[in-house]
Chains A and B, each alone.
Chain A
C-alpha cells in the first residue's frame, strides 16, 4: 500500500506541507484547503510541539460513502470518482484525521492521493511516502 508516513519528532511546524498541498490542488496558499493538517500547541508535558494529521488510507471515507465512489486503486490509495460523487460530505465529516477538504467552489470534496508534494517541500524529512 502506498501511503504517507510521518515522524512528528522531526516536524518544526513550518506548515510548508499544508501550503504546498493547498496550492497544488486548490491554487490557494490556505491550510484550510490542504489534505494534511499540522496543529501547533502545548502538550500535556508542557512542551510546545507540532502534531501532524495525515491520511493513512484507512478507508473510513469509503466505508461511510453510500454511493461507493471512494475506492482503493491498485496501490491501495483511496480515490474519489468525482464524476459520480454526489457531494454529500459524509466522508469529510467522518474522516478520523479530519484531513479531507471541502470547498464551496467545487461540488465534490478531495482527499490525499499520496502524491508526495508535501514530502518534497518538508525541510526536515518529517514526512515520507512508503509503499509496503
Chain B
C-alpha cells in the first residue's frame, strides 16, 4: 500500500523554462474592472468575453433571471438560449460556452461544494450539453466577482484569457511556448501566474488538451493545486464535447487568480448554520466512511465488483454485465497497488469525502510522455468501467494509462470508453478491419492499439480522425462506406441523441433504461442514476414507483446543478441511522442539510417541494431548448436496444435461463411455448416485450413531468411553474396544436 507520507513531491517546471515562456507572452488586450463583492452567495454579475473581438463586458444578472433560473446550470442555459438560434451548431461563432458555479459553490465547510456547471451546443448532440466539474475555476470565478462567465466568438490565434482578481484585470494574451496537453499546461500556467510557491493554490486553470482539437468527445479540465504533492491536478467537465468547442474558439486556457480562499467569502446569511451543518457532515464521514463505501480509500471505483455481481458493469460494449477479469480491478487491488492512501483528496476545499484519488508517480509506457512519471487522477468508476471491462481490458496499469491520456489530451473518458468498445465490436463483426483502421488491431483487450488510436486522435491523424467523431457520426460513416448495416449498428452502438452512454448496463433495470433514455442531454447517469435504487436495493419495485422516480429524481438531482453541488455526498455516505428513517433512499438527514445550506447561504427558506420547483423550471426550459434545436421529442428519447435487452445470440445465451424465465413470468408465455421456441424466436419475443415496456414507461413518465405523450411540456404546466415565457410558448404551441393537446 502506498501512503501519502512516502510520496515524494513532484518537480515543478524549471525556472528557466518558465522565464522563456513568460518572455514570449504577448498581451493583446487588457481591461480593468472593479470586483463586485459576494452577498449571500451571489455577485449578480455576468462576465461576457468575446475571444474573437477580444472584448470583455460585465452586466447585471436581472432579478427575474435569478428568480427563475437560480444559478449554475440554470444561468448557463438561460444565457446560452439568448446567444444561439435554431441553426446554431457547435462551431458557429455565436455558440457560447457558459459556466456558472451556483450560489452554494465556494463554501468550504461541507463536502462537494466546489462544482461548476458548463453548457454549450454540443458537437455530439447538436443540443445543449451540461456538464459539471470540480476543481478551483468556478468558485474562483465567483470570488473574482462573477456568478457566470459566457464565452463567445472565435479567436484567429490561440489565446489565453486571464481574470486576475488581485489586480482587477481581464486580459487576453498569447502564450505560444506552453504545451497544449492539460497536465503540463495547467502546471505551467499555475507556476507562471503564481507570485511564489505558496501562491500556486490561488491559481485556477481551465484547459482542454491536444485531443480536443480533433475530437468531438473533447472535454474541459479544471485544475486544482495539491500543495501536499506539489502538483497541479485536474478534474473534468467531461460530457458532450465542451473541450472541442473550447479549442474551436482557439482558447488555449482560462486562468483565474485570487487573493486566497477564506471561510466566508460567500458572505452567507447565516455563517453559523453552515459551520454547524458542515461539521456534522465531517464527523459523519470520519465515523462511517470506512464502514460504508470507503470513498476516502478508493473513490467511486469501489463499486466495480458489487455492480458486476448484478450484471451491471458493461463488458464488451455492454454485451455482458460481468466478467472474471473484473476481479483484477477490485477496490482492494486499486487500494493495495495503485491509489495513494491517507491523502486529503478533495477536489474542492472541505470535501471530507475526498474521492479524487490519485495514482502517484505513475510510469507511462506509451505516447509522447513515455518514460515520465505522472500523477494520474482516478480512475473513477465510470472511467474504470468504460476504459476497462467495456473494452475487454482488465489490467489496472493499462486502465490508468488510458485514463491519464484521456485527461491530458482533453478527451472524455466516458465517451472514449464507450466509443472504443463500439469500435472493438465493429472490429469483431468485420465492420472494421486492419485495412480500415490503418493497421490498428482493435480486438477486445488490446490496450496497446487502443492507446495508439488515442495518440492518433491527439496528433489529428489516421484513424484517430474517425475515432474522434463519436459513435453517432461513426455509425453514419461506416454505413455510408458500406462497411456495416445502420440498423444493426443502431442496436449495439451505445449512444442516444449523439451522446455515448455512461457505464451502467441497464438491461435488468427498466428505471435505468428510462434514467438514460428520458434525459435532456443524453444518456448520462448524472440526471437519473436509479440503477442501484432499482436493481440492487429494490427500492422502487413497482412500475408506478419507477415512473414516479423518473419524475422526481431528475428534478431532485438537477437541483445540485443549480447550486454548484456534487451529488456524491448526498448518498455515498449516509448517517449511521439512515436505514431507520422513513425513506432511506432519500437520505432525509442529508436533504435537510442541503435545505439548511440553502437557507444559510441565501436567507430564503426552502422545502423539498420548493427545491423540485426550482429544478422543474430549468428542466422544462432545457427540454424546450432541445426541441428548439431539433431534438427533444418522444422520437429522440428512443434508446438503442442493447440498453434494454440482448441484441445478439451469444448475448442472449449468456443469461439464457434468465431471459427464458422472464418470457414465462413477465411476458405471458407458457413454459411449454418457450421450450418449443427457437433461439431467434425467444430473442424476438424478449425484444418485443422489453421494447413495449419502455414505451409504457414513457407513457407513464411524460404526464408526470407535465408533458404530452409526444414529449412536449404543456402550456398549463409551464404556467404552473411560472415558465410561460413567450420564447418558450413560441416553441411548444405549434407542436401542441399538432398533437391536439
Residues of A within 8 A of B (CB): 63-68, 84-90, 92-94, 102, 104, 107-108
Between-chain CB contacts (< 8 Å), 6 pairs: A68-B228, A88-B349, A92-B279, A94-B286, A107-B262, A108-B263
For the complex of A and B, 8 pairs with smallest distance between CB atoms: A93-B282, A87-B263, A88-B350, A66-B344, A104-B272, A107-B263, A88-B108, A68-B227
Residue of A nearest to B262 (CB): A107
Q: Does B352 sit at the interface, judged by CB under 8 A?
A: yes
Q: Which residue of the partner chain B has the closest CB to A63?
A: B342
Residue of B nearest to A60 (CB): B286
Instruction: Contacts A66-B349, A84-B260 given; indicate if A92 touches B344 (C-beta within 8 A).
Output: no
Tell whether B201 is near chain A: CB-to-CB under 8 Å: yes
- The proximity string for B residues 363-374 relative to A, scoring 1 for CB distances below 8 Å and 0 otherwise, is 000000000000
Contact of A90 among B201, B228, B264, B344 (CB under 8 A): B344
Q: Say yes or no for B379: interface residue by CB 8 A criterion.
A: no
Q: Is the CB of A93 within 8 A of B283?
A: yes
> How far apart are A10's CB and chain B's nearest CB, in angstroms?
30
Q: Which of B198-254 contact A (CB under 8 A)?
A: 198, 201, 226-228
- Cβ contact of B344, chosen from A65, A84, A93, A107, cutoff 8 A: A65
Which B residues touch A87, using CB under 8 A?
A: 108-109, 262-264
Question: Total interface residues on B, using CB and 8 Å?
Answer: 32
Task: Flag whether B293 is at the interface (Cβ < 8 A).
Answer: no
A80 to B508, CA, bound (A): 52
Q: Which residues of B contact A66 (CB under 8 A)?
A: 226-228, 344-346, 349, 351, 354
**A57 → chain B closest CB, angstroms:** 16
Q: Is B261 interfacial (CB 8 A cutoff)? A: yes
Binding site for A on B (CB under 8 A): 4, 108-109, 198, 201, 226-228, 260-264, 271-272, 275, 278-279, 281-283, 285-286, 342, 344-346, 349-352, 354
**How many Å lie between the Cα of A65 and that of B279 in the bound state?**
14
Known: A66-B344, A86-B262. 9 other contacts (CB 8 A): A63-B344, A66-B346, A90-B282, A92-B279, A94-B286, A102-B275, A104-B275, A107-B262, A107-B264
**Chain B residues with CB under 8 A of A63:** 4, 342, 344
Report whether B350 and A89 are in contact in the complex, using a CB–CB cutoff of 8 Å: yes
Which residue on chain A has the smallest CB distance to residue B346?
A: A66
Residues of the B chain whose Cβ atoms lie less than 8 Å from the Cβ of A65: 344
| CA–CA, A105 and B342, complex, Å | 31
A92's closest neighbor in chain B, by CB? B279
The CA-CA distance from A22 to B590 in the complex, in Å, is 32
A89 partner, pick from B4, B261, B278, B346, beta carbons under 8 A: B278
Q: How far is the CA of A63 from the CA of B351 in the complex (A)?
A: 13
Q: With A66-B345, A104-B271, A104-B272 given, is the CB distance from A90 to B352 under 8 Å?
A: yes
Closest to A93 in B: B282
Chain B residues with Cβ below 8 Å from A107 are 262-264
**In the complex, A100→B345 CA distance in Å?**
22
Report chain B residues within 8 Å CB of A86. Answer: 108, 261-263, 349-350
Rounded to whole angstroms, the CA-CA distance of A63 and B354 in the bound complex is: 12
In angstroms, Cα B240 to Cα A9, docked, is 65
Identify the closest chain B residue to A95 (Cβ). B286
Q: How many angstroms between the C-alpha atoms of A83 and B262 in the bound complex?
A: 9
Instruction: Say whether chain B's binding surface is mostly helix, strand, loop, or mixed.
Output: loop
A67 partner, pick from B4, B201, B264, beta carbons under 8 A:
B201
Verify A89–B282 contact, CB threshold 8 A.
yes
Q: With A and B bound together, what is the CA distance between A54 and B407 in angstroms?
A: 45
Q: How far is the CB of B352 from chain A (nearest CB, A)?
A: 5
- Alpha-carbon separation in the docked complex, A98 to B201 (Å): 28
Q: Which residues of B contact A102 (CB under 8 A)?
A: 275, 279
Q: How far is the CA of A84 from the CA of B225 in the complex (A)?
A: 14
Q: Are A67's CB and B227's CB within 8 A?
A: yes
The minimal Cβ–Cβ distance linking A72 to chain B, given in whole angstroms, is: 13
Given the complex, which residues of A lie within 8 Å of B4, measured CB to CB?
Answer: 63
Query: CA–CA, A102 to B430, complex, Å?
Result: 65
Q: A119 CA to B350 CA in the complex, in Å? A: 33
Query: Which of chain B's residues have a CB closer than 8 A to the CB of A93?
Result: 278-279, 281-283, 285-286, 352
A102 to chain B minimum Cβ distance, whole angstroms, is: 6
Q: How far is the CA of A62 from the CA of B108 in the complex (A)?
A: 17
Q: Which residue of A lies closest to B284 (CB)?
A: A93
Among A90, A92, A94, the most chain B Cβ lie within 10 Å of the Cβ of A90
Residues in B with CB closer than 8 Å to A89 are 109, 275, 278-279, 282, 350
Q: Chain B contacts of A68 at CB under 8 A?
A: 227-228
Instruction: Give Cα distance in the complex from A65 to B108, angstroms.
Output: 12
Closest to B260 in A: A84
A111 to B327, CA, bound (A): 44
B279–A64 CB distance below 8 A: no
A90 to B285, CA, bound (A): 10
* CA of A63 to CA of B346, assembled, Å: 13
Closest CB in chain A relative to B569 CB, distance in Å? 13
On whether A64 and B108 interact (CB within 8 A), knowing A89-B278, A90-B282, A102-B275, the answer reads no
In the bound complex, CA of A102 to CA of B276 (Å): 9
A94 vs B296: C-alpha distance when bound (angstroms): 13
CB nearest neighbor in A for B198:
A84
Assembled-state Cα–Cα distance A92/B271 (Å): 16
Q: How far is the CA of A87 from the CA of B108 in the complex (A)?
A: 7
Q: Distance (Å) between the CB of A64 and the closest chain B CB?
A: 5
Please report the C-alpha to C-alpha distance between residue A94 and residue B227 in the assembled complex, in whole angstroms. 20
Complex Cα distance, B352 from A68, in Å, reads: 14
Minimum CB–CB distance from A84 to chain B (whole Å) comes to 7
A119–chain B nearest beta-carbon distance, Å: 28
Report Cα–Cα, A108/B328, bound state, in Å: 44
A contact residues around B344 at 8 Å (CB): 63-66, 90
Chain B neighbourhood of A84, CB < 8 A: 198, 260
Q: In the complex where A92-B282, A93-B285 touch, is A64 in contact with B352 (Cβ < 8 A)?
A: yes
B346: which A residues are within 8 A, CB to CB? 66
Chain B residues, Cβ within 8 Å of A67: 201, 227, 349
**Residue of B at shortest CB range from A66?**
B344
A107 to B275, CA, bound (A): 10
**From residue A129, how far is it (CB to closest CB) to chain B in Å?**
27
A66 to B350, alpha carbons, bound, how many Å? Answer: 8
Cβ-closest chain A residue relative to B263: A87
Across-interface contacts of B286 in A (CB, < 8 A): 93-94
**B-side contacts of A104, CB under 8 Å:** 271-272, 275
Contacts of A88 in B (CB 8 A): 108-109, 263, 278, 349-350
A55 to B74, alpha carbons, bound, how many Å?
46
Distance in angstroms between the alpha carbons of A92 and B285 in the assembled complex: 12
Residue of A nearest to B278 (CB): A89
Most interface-central of A67, A88, A92 (chain B CB within 10 A): A88
Q: Which among A65, A92, A93 has the highest number of chain B CB atoms within 10 Å?
A: A93
A97 and B639 alpha carbons, distance in the complex (Å): 53
CB distance from B259 to the nearest CB of A (A): 11
In the assembled complex, the Cα of A86 lies from the Cα of B275 at a distance in Å of 12
